[in-house]
Structure 1
Amino acid sequence: MISKELLNRINELAHKAKAEGLTELEEVERKDLRQKYLKEFRAGFRQQVESLQVFDKQGKEVTPEKVRNIQRERGLRND
């Protein structure tokens, strides 16, 4: 989960960059924070996708086999 402190610091640096510019250290920090944010975002998104089940209009499950296997490995599926 992405922390509020991380988002707040990213936003502080963004506002400062627009208003007066950043020092070299702040630019490095901003880059690192962005990478951390993207890593956490991707992990959360992946977790959501891997826990989804897809059904067609007739109610038959059509979840891709790759996702089913991941769900089985994580104990989210009994079939």
Structure 2
Amino acid sequence: MDQSQIERINFLAKKSKSEGLNEKEKGEQQVLRKAYIESWKNGVKATLSQASFVEADGSITPIRRKSDG
């Protein structure tokens, strides 16, 4: 997600609060918001995949994803 897309999200949010959005703008806003959330989630996942715990004995344990079962 680049800066121009974030600026567009912010513009549409301000316009929505002040004067409202037409249907085309509402659709654009939803698409941009969904892309922003996906980008954010991917960033968090990448950060957590590099994280680890330092145990009391000094050993390092990588964080593992919990299984769904």
Place the TM-score, normalised by the shorter chain, in its bin: 0.7 to 0.9
Can you give the 5+ residue segments of structure 1 that lack an aligned partner in the other structure?
68-79
Q: SS of the counterpart of 1:46?
A: helix
> TM-score scaled to structure 1, two decimals?
0.73
Shift of 1:38: 0.6
Measure the CA separation in 1 of the matches of 2:53 and 2:4. 35
Q: Aligned AA for 2:59?
A: K
Q: Percent sequence identity over matched residues?
A: 28
Runs of 4+ in structure 1 off by over 4 angstroms are none
Q: Aligned AA for 1:22?
A: L
Q: Aligned AA for 2:42?
A: A
The aligned counterpart of 2:44 is 45
Number of residue equivalences: 65
Q: Aligned AA for 1:24?
A: E
Larger proportion of strand: 2
> TM-score scaled to structure 2, two decimals?
0.83
Can you give the 5+ residue segments of structure 2 that lack an aligned partner in the other structure?
none
Shift of 1:59: 1.9
Shift of 1:61: 1.4
Measure the CA separation in 1 of the matches of 2:62 and 2:46. 15
